[in-house]
Amino acid sequence: MTNHLFYQSRLPRPDLQKAEGIYMWDTAGKRYIDGSSGAMVSNIGHSNPNVLAAMREQMDKSTFGYRLHFQTEPSEALAARISGLTPEGLDRVFFVSGGSEAVESALKMARQYALTQGEAQRYKVISRYPSYHGATLGALAITGYAPMSAPFDPMMKSMPKIPAPRAYLDGMDADDPATGLHYANMLEEKILEEGPSTVLAFIVEPVGGASTGALVPPAGYMQRIREICDQYGVLLIHDEVMTGGGRTGRFFGAEHWDVAPDLIALSKGFGAGYVPLGAMIARNDMVEAVLDAGGFIHGYTYAGNPLACAAGLAVLEEIERQDLVGNAAAMGDALTDRLQALMQRYPVIGDVRGKGLLLAFELMADRNTKAPLPVDLNAHSRLVDIAYENGLIIYSRRTRGGLSGDHFLVCPPMSVNEPQLDEIAEILERSMQQFMA
Ligand code: PMP
């Protein structure tokens, strides 16, 4: 039979039958724990009855109204609600349908704002290596992950990168403010090298996602980055596609450092797996300047459709009603304890890191030297496959620049409870035993 559907690879996967809370079932009846919330998306758990009811209610009214023809009640209500959660002065919301679109929108808003300020020479967007900011060519140009971007290099203008602050690999103390300064100052050096008047923006994930495996910035890093951006007139973009929506134990990841960016990209946990939804959030004065100058030259057909926004609104209501942000913080601590206990028993686990329920562990050949496992061991896919067989889905991306090193994100829905964490820990233990055998 011809298989008409295709994605990245020929990897066979079972058909999904149903999903509820943190659990998913395939059509053969096998149960899985969604230990990575898909790709850190299904933050409030699957099949939440209140979200489904809100979607049904909206479906009976309208599912689509083109944004140039109509505003809709859900899109206005959602924009108002989200702006109540952002730092002051940052409350203009532009809806999109995913993370790459949110990042693209931030890049284009930054550039168009610079044009209104008479700064046409500013176009470079500095990012970090490794990083992931999306699949579209613009987002890929600022993505620091060669295996994904290299084939397309001739088709886009690859942007300057600085190293992500992986203090644990460099033998530095992440709690020492000198470490934060050391890494943040690399941005200043890069700006000076590129020529400050050519640099438009810097983009950073407050807590690293798939590419760095839940990398928490060292003390003082985020604050110093803000200072440097201010000093050189560089716009600061926070990519909160993975961190936003409460996953780190605060609604926005950057709240941990009390730093306000100029632009925010939000998605994943915003639609929480119910609808494709994202947002670019911008400083009021930037939006006013761009609209005054003739309008924002950008837009997506499905942006802000009422069904997606009604679902997004219901997701935010559930996050608040169940205090899922607080639960992410508490369950994150409880899961960290379990991962650290696992690390005690398996020396091959060289690091456990993250914030809230954005958590990861990394396998290493040597915990002291931080030497990675040999690439041909294929540890990242082997362990994921073993856990999958055992009914636990975890998320892996080979790190250290795509060359070697194996980390695994363990990020169950924010609605997870302690007995469920015990189930996750038990399957991880069993999977590690089988992996080492
Ligand atoms: N930014 C970050 C930090 C992400 O983690 C992702 C998705 N993994 C994206 C952007 C792109 O989002 P999407 O896949 O929804 O386009």
14-55: per-residue pLDDT in tens?
999 999 999 999 999 999 999 999 999 999 999 999 999 999
Give just the sign of the alpha carbon dihedral 34, 413, 279, 214. negative
Identify the pLDDT of residue 338. Answer: 98
Is residue 399 very low, low, confident or very high in pLDDT (cuts 50, 70, 90)? low
ipTM score over 0.85, yes or no: yes
The whole-chain average pLDDT of the chain stands at 95
CA–centroid distance, 345 to ligand 1, in Å, is 33
CA–centroid distance, 149 to ligand 1, in Å, is 14
Fold of 53-321: Aspartate Aminotransferase; domain 2 (3.40.640)
Per-residue pLDDT, averaged over 188-214, amounts to 97
From the alpha carbon of 101, which atom of ligand 1 is closest?
Answer: 16
Is 265 in contact with 99 (CB distance < 8 Å)?
yes
The rounded distance, in Å, linking the Cα atoms of 41 and 43 is 5
Check pocket membership of 103 for ligand 1, CB cut-off 6 A. Answer: yes
- Non-local CB neighbours of 363 within 8 Å, separated by 6+ positions: 348, 349, 350, 373, 379, 380, 383, 406, 407, 408
From the alpha carbon of 211, which atom of ligand 1 is closest?
Answer: 5
Q: What is the distance in angstroms between the CA of the first residue and the CA of the last residue of the chain? A: 38
From the alpha carbon of 268, which atom of ligand 1 is closest?
Answer: 15
Check pocket membership of 133 for ligand 1, CB cut-off 6 A. Answer: yes
Check pocket membership of 100 for ligand 1, CB cut-off 6 A. Answer: yes
Is residue 402 very low, low, confident or very high in pLDDT (cuts 50, 70, 90)? low
Check pocket membership of 39 for ligand 1, CB cut-off 6 A. Answer: yes
Check pocket membership of 324 for ligand 1, CB cut-off 6 A. Answer: no
Query: How does DSSP classify residue 345?
Result: H
Q: Does domain 16-48+323-436 have CATH number 3.90.1150.10?
A: yes
CA–centroid distance, 172 to ligand 1, in Å, is 29
CA–centroid distance, 260 to ligand 1, in Å, is 21
Check pocket membership of 210 for ligand 1, CB cut-off 6 A. Answer: yes
Q: Domain ranges for the chain, please list them.
A: 16-48+323-436, 53-321
**pTM, 2 dp:** 0.97
